[in-house]
Homo-oligomer: A and B are copies of this chain.
Amino acid sequence: MDKLYVDEIKSLFLLDDFELKEKILSYHPYEISEALLELSKKERRRMYSILSPKEISYSISFLEIEDAFLLFNEMVPKYIVNIIQELDIDDAVDLMQELDESERAGYLKLMDAEHRENIKELLKYKDDTAGSIMNTEYINIDVTDTVATGMKKLLEQAVTSATIYTIYVTNKNDKLLGTLSLREMILARKNELIEEIMNKRVVSVETTKDQEEVAAIFMDYDFTSLPVVDKLNRLLGVITVDDVLDVIEEETLEDYSKFAAISDAEIDSDTETVLMGVKKRLPWLLVLSVLGFFTSTIIAQFEGTLDQIPTIALFMPMILGMAGNTGTQSLAVTVRGLNDGEFQTKASITKHLLREIGTGFMNGILIGIMLFGVTYLFLHLNHNPEAFKITQVVSLSIMLSLAVSTLSGALIPIIINSFKIDPAVASGPFVTMINDILALSVYFTLATMLIINTL
């Protein structure tokens, strides 16, 4: 994307401190954050000297955590701690979670008591759960309030609150009883009772809810915020849609990376090195090469067949490729379905597997018929004496291996999912390798049975 503002901001460094500060603060914090990464060390030092911790904290919250840490390396601890204290508490906790223990302890020590206690409290929640991404500042009014009192409380809490556009209604025990949008509040009459105008059907999540499921709820309901409660329905925090956008970005990247068998598909072109690339990819390749070698040992069982009819090697890559492709297709459909909450019952799983094997057979028959003609013509033109028999084996193998691979592409993620593991780990390459093994077995068995045994 065009990031003109980065060059604009860079050019401001000719100004004196006062003007520089004023001009820079007219940019959006996201834009300042992007510029920060592109500035020279010297220019960044100047930024730290003219911007207060609060002013720079807005930009820091837009950075990837690793990038924020890079900048922290250039700052004094007190400045860092002040920045962390100015961040929204969920962002502060995200940062603190990634620090090693001694650093975390050091920063906590430098904090004021209130921030220290709040952050410690939130650090207890497991990474990737609702508790870890929630914010503990929100607009909270009492169920017995009138609209006028509620509005007054809203104004008092508005400055620090993560969102002021949804108002949470609790009773004296902090139990979450209802919600109100700021719009409803503004449009209501001043003397109405909150209890009478609030929405009593509240969707909330517990602190332990997986963040991916939280994102799904935001998508389903088109929420801009969602309350987080404990087991007794006491309000503890809110999650806002901007945090969910981050979660979606993170989880999409994760799924995408797994699908391609790489630990992290994202690179920063400026800083990525060959070694980083090797580190992200080699472990997967090593595992896959072991699976790959396994295919060699299978073919070795059929070396006699290969010796007698070397021509069958010609069609191996095609059959393997087609088996891999159909497997990837049904894998994609099945993983997607599992993520969407399909296949909850045994009946629906059976139905899905039957449908997949049916789809595989149907595709296999159609592709098999097409390839029958092409293969026969090809072998016939090459004057192969076994043209007809080999053609039979190739077509039949395509048919069978398409059916088998389609089934395995659906079955593998369902099995993995039943162990409560994210089915996306059954990435494309793994399913392809397993289908290679299945397809080879089918092909060579058929070749041995139909050609060798009838010679």
Chain A interface (Cβ < 8 Å from any Cβ of B): 1, 26-28, 30, 62, 154-155, 158-159, 164-165, 182-183, 186-187, 200-201, 203, 213, 216, 218-222, 224, 241-242, 245-246, 248-249, 252-253, 255-257, 259-262, 265-269, 272-275, 277-278, 281-282, 284-286, 288-289, 291-293, 295-297, 299-300, 303, 306-307, 310-311, 313-322, 324-326, 328-329, 331-333, 336-337, 340-343, 348, 351-352, 355-356, 358-359, 362-363, 366-367, 370-371, 374-375, 378, 382, 428-429, 432-433, 436, 440
Contact of A269 among B300, B337, B363 (CB under 8 A): B337
A-B contact pairs, 21 of them (CB 8 A): A26-B200, A28-B203, A158-B186, A158-B187, A164-B183, A222-B242, A245-B248, A256-B256, A256-B259, A265-B332, A275-B362, A284-B329, A289-B322, A289-B371, A293-B371, A296-B315, A307-B310, A317-B317, A320-B320, A328-B429, A428-B428
Question: Smallest CB–CB gap between A211 and chain B, Å?
Answer: 15
Bound CA–CA A248/B218 (angstroms) = 12
Chain B minimum-CB-distance residue to A34? B220
A262 close to B332 (CB less than 8 A): yes
Q: Which of B261, B313, B328, B363 contacts A282 (CB 8 A)?
A: B363
Additional 7 contacts, C-beta under 8 A, given A310-B313, A320-B320, A325-B429: A261-B325, A269-B337, A284-B325, A296-B317, A316-B316, A316-B317, A328-B428
Q: What is the CA–CA distance of A433 and B27 in the complex, to the nearest angstrom? A: 48
In the complex, the answer to whether A336 meets B253 with C-beta atoms within 8 Å is yes
Judging by beta carbons under 8 Å apart, are B303 and A269 in contact? no
| Bound Cα distance from A293 to B221, whole angstroms | 48
Smallest distance from the beta carbon of A427 to chain B beta carbons, Å? Answer: 9
Contact of A27 among B26, B201, B303, B318 (CB under 8 A): B201
A394 to chain B, nearest CB (A): 9
- List chain B residues, Cβ under 8 A from A187: 155, 158-159
Q: Name the residue of chain B whose CB is nearest to the CB of A275.
A: B362
Provide the residues of chain B in CB contact with A429, threshold 8 Å.
Answer: 321, 324-325, 328
User: Is the Cβ of B164 less than 8 Å from the Cβ of A367?
Assistant: no
Cross-chain contact B182 with A277 (CB below 8 angstroms): no
Residue of B nearest to A274 (CB): B358
Taking a contact as CB atoms under 8 Å apart, the answer to whether B222 and A62 are in contact is: yes
Q: How far is the CA of A216 from the CA of B366 in the complex (A)?
A: 41
